[in-house]
Amino acid sequence: MGRRCGWAVVFAAMAAACASPRGSGPADAPAPPPEPGARRLVPRAVGTVLFLGLDLPDVGTVIGGHYGGAAFEVRQTTYQMSDAARAGWSRAARLRGETVLHDAGYTVRGVGGATSDLVAVDDEVRFGIQGRVSALEVRTFAGAGSRVEARVEVAWDLLDVPRGAVIFGRTHAGVARISGRLDEAVADAFDAALSHLVVDTLFQVALLAPAVAADGRRGPAAFVEPVAGEPIRIVAGDLNPSLDSGAVERVLAGVVTLRGPDQIYGTAFLLTRGGLALTTRRAVRQTRRLRVRLPSGVVRPVQVLRQHAGLDIALIQVDCAAACPTVDWDAISLPAVNADVVTIGAPGSDEAPPFVSRGRIGGRWGLANGVTLVTQGDEVVNGGEPVALAATGKVVGLVSARPGRRTALLLGEVLRALRVIPPRPS
């Protein structure tokens, strides 16, 4: 091992012990093959990978049941997560996970028997992998030869250890159906979820990305915050809008969701290919493991650049790893009254589509507050959602987050407040 770093990275260390023999669950659809000419991943070339195991549901969580009846459709007993199951399954998932990665060709380091939250890291360890179980269901069947089914969904994070930051995220499911013990089925499902991550093309691409400096800036996201008070200038070439003919689809291409470990905080929309985006201040108050989910499903890190308390808005930057997709936007002075608009909201879950609300622009509500936003029926819109003209798909404002106001803040007003100079009209 290389020399020790002079600091410790805080991780949730899993307890140590043993695991049952590793099995396998049914495979998901295979990952798409790499594009011609793409770099191929050599697992051992990425250095030592630190595997941090899984964060399981809390003790007391209902995770399934025992079924009987003529068609095995009647739940006879309910299973809840117990202290013993949580500890045992954590140990098995951690040790078997190390085996999955080792079998795939990676040099793996586990957290061993450490009980402290502080794990010393060597220079050669760049990547860490940890998972959070977002769904777990187990089913056993009476009189069916000890038939057991287990299904798990794991939100995997790839960490850049020197930076202490999440650089990629992906959710994968694992399923196991066996004739045996419940513990074995759960462990097999965990193995399957990790195996699907290992062959995920986007995961492999993330491992091939060049190292990032400690300040987290590189590539298209190499935006440097200017001296306080100086404006940020955006030029027409910074935009990277979708070419889709549908107005809603063009907006959705540049909309991302702000996320924490356990919830979605709100919506942001991208202004530049370098990752500048707009959202509300309240959506970025919780910065612990704050990240964004791109329309592609990839999860990327984010940093907060500027905020304006009066308008409750924030300018953030997303590290997209490549050119960020943006909305098509225009900082016009005032859109036409009664123009049809669409607003795009954050989805309630990873599987759900974003919320699309349709409405129109009403009369003026005062120069400082943009224009009133009148939605159809009782549709609910939340602060920070982009407001786009339905006819063109151009985003011209964002929904105000101020309580009691159904207003759209015009982009011109927002950008001026954040000291951002938009492109000149063509």
Burial class (CB in 10 A: 0-12, 13-18, 19+), 326: buried
Residue 154 domain boundaries = 4-28+42-208
CATH number of the domain bearing residue 277: 2.40.10.120
pLDDT (tens, 9 = 90+) of the chain, 426 residues, equals: 333 232 222 222 222 222 333 333 333 344 444 443 445 778 888 888 889 888 888 888 888 888 876 666 777 888 888 988 888 898 888 899 999 999 999 988 876 544 333 344 555 688 889 888 888 999 888 765 678 999 999 988 888 877 666 777 788 899 999 888 888 999 999 999 999 999 988 888 888 876 654 434 333 334 444 445 678 889 888 999 988 888 888 899 899 988 876 678 888 999 998 899 999 888 888 766 788 888 877 778 888 889 988 888 999 998 887 788 999 999 877 777 788 888 887 666 666 777 888 888 876 544 444 567 776 655 556 778 899 998 889 999 888 876 655 677 889 889 999 999 998 765
Residues 204 and 287 in one domain: no
- Residue 12 inside a domain? The answer is yes
Clarify whether residues 248 and 314 are in a common domain. Answer: yes
231 and 341 inside one domain: yes
Quick check: is 350 in a domain?
yes
| Domain-located, residue 319 | yes
Given 208, 229, 246, the domain boundary residue is: 208
pLDDT digits 0-9 by tens, 69-102: 666 677 788 888 898 888 889 888 889 999 999 9
Give pTM, 2 decimals.
0.54
Q: What does residue 244 show for φ and ψ, rounded to 5 degrees? A: -60, 140
Do 86 and 202 belong together in one domain? Answer: yes
Whether residues 146 and 184 share a domain: the answer is: yes
Instruction: Looking at the structure, tell me whether residues 196 and 253 fall in a common domain.
Output: no
Q: pLDDT per residue over 12-48, tens digit each?
A: 222 222 233 333 333 334 444 444 344 577 888 888 8
Write the CATH number for 157: 3.30.160
Of 161, 186, 208, the domain-final residue:
208
Domain count within the chain:
2
